[in-house]
Amino acid sequence: QSGSSFHVFDQGQFAKEVLPKYFKHSNMASFVRQLNMYGFRKVVHIEQGGLVKPEKDDTEFQHPYFIRGQEHLLENIKRKVTSVSNIKNEDIKVRQDNVTKLLTDIQVMKGKQESMDSKLIAMK
């Protein structure tokens, strides 16, 4: 291999024997989620088309800073953080506008509901 990725050839065995040695769980999906949080991506080969499940149980992961013999790059592999400072002011404005519109719609619906209620009472 080129040393730019790593393979998990038997997910079942990996989850059962390897994961519990390093994590508090033996759940492959949780491990993959952790990899994704650190910027690792599953390698999908063209012939698989991303849709066809490969015959053999071989999952490959890669990260731009995970390269054999380049240990100094490992410090660049960091967990992705989403903080409040990442939210743009425009996004907040859009959300406020959406909330205002929703509240207005609810008021209109309440009015229609009250009108229908009084009509129903009158009909009874």
DSSP secondary structure, 35-104, as one string? HHHTT-EE---GGGTTTSPPSS--EEEE-TT--TT-GGGGGG-------GGGS-HHHHHHHHHHHHHHHH
Tens digits of per-residue pLDDT, 46-66? 665 555 555 567 889 999 999
106: which 2 tokens? 């609810």
Low-confidence ranges of the chain (pLDDT < 50): none
Reported pTM = 0.58
pLDDT at 80: 83
Tens digits of per-residue pLDDT, 97-110? 778 888 888 898 99
Residues 4, 70: Cα–Cα separation, whole Å: 10
3-state secondary structure of 23: coil
Domain over 5-76 is classified CATH 1.10.10.10: yes
pLDDT at 46: 67
pLDDT at 14: 94
